[in-house]
A and B are shown apart, each in its own frame.
Chain A
Amino acid sequence: GNSVTQMEGPVTLSEEAFLTINCTYTATGYPSLFWYVQYPGEGLQLLLKATKADDKGSNKGFEATYRKETTSFHLEKGSVQVSDSAVYFCALRVSNFGNEKLTFGTGTRLTIIP
């Protein structure tokens, strides 16, 4: 089956620190990979995506590279801000005859302190 494992939180960093949130996956077939972010009181929002091996997704200073050899999709940001405080979810989707289900990791709560 399909599954996503991401590092447990919570993660607390100082402003301008470097961020890495690890995500690994197992999947049947060729998945597309996603990072979603959930800010307090809001719904999940798509942060970035990659649809094939070696693709790099990027948005708002965040990056993640689809590594097929290590089945990983780690999220990175060079200098975090207080406004990045949120819960981050790694997810995958394997197309299956139109069944476009997303499989999520457990989420990692990130808190940035000034």
Chain B
Amino acid sequence: GAVVSQHPSWVICKSGTSVKIECRSLDFQATTMFWYRQFPKQSLMLMATSNEGSKATYEQGVEKDKFLINHASLTLSTLTVTSAHPEDSSFYICSANPAGGISYEQYFGPGTRLTVT
């Protein structure tokens, strides 16, 4: 149980285009989902926290107009990288906090590797 999927697992896009990454909790409902970014040999950096039905909370330094987050249902959150540039190339990971679960209980997706050419 407690599986989180991400789609796609790998995507290449051209500079200036937008790309959407989906994060789904497959067997539980998630009131809160988190989006992380990971650079090579660096730790996961929290980008934003999304709560179902409300606006996402972005971490300091993260451009909310560039990284659009939508948490439309209790099982789906999406991250859209708008007008992507090569410096946006990274590994994006989501996690989900089960509804009514223990606050530290986050289940992670396998990640999406984005390459912007």
Residues in chain A within 8 A of chain B (CB atoms): 4, 32, 34, 36, 38, 41-46, 49, 89, 93, 95, 98-107
Contacts and interface: CB of A to CB of B under 8 A. Distances in A.
14 contacts: A36-B108, A43-B4, A43-B93, A44-B93, A49-B104, A95-B103, A98-B103, A99-B49, A100-B104, A101-B46, A102-B44, A103-B43, A104-B44, A106-B42
Contacts of A32: 104
Interface of B: 4, 34, 41-44, 46, 49, 93, 95, 97, 103-111
A89 B43 contact: yes
Contacts of B105: 46
A98 B97 CA distance: 13
Contacts of A89: 43-44
Nearest to B111: A43
Given A32-B104, A93-B104, A41 B110 contact: yes
A41 B49 CA distance: 24
B110 A43 contact: yes
Contacts of B107: 43
A105 B110 contact: no
B51 to A, nearest CB: 11
B46 A102 contact: yes
A103 B44 CA distance: 8
Contacts of B104: 32, 34, 49, 93, 100, 102
A106 B103 CA distance: 23
- Nearest 10 CB-CB pairings of A with B: A43-B108, A44-B108, A104-B43, A104-B44, A106-B43, A100-B103, A43-B110, A43-B109, A105-B43, A93-B104
Contacts of A4: 43
A99 B43 CA distance: 19
Contacts of A95: 103
B63 to A, nearest CB: 19
Contacts of A43: 4, 93, 95, 107-111
A45 B42 contact: no
Nearest to A102: B106
Contacts of B106: 46, 102
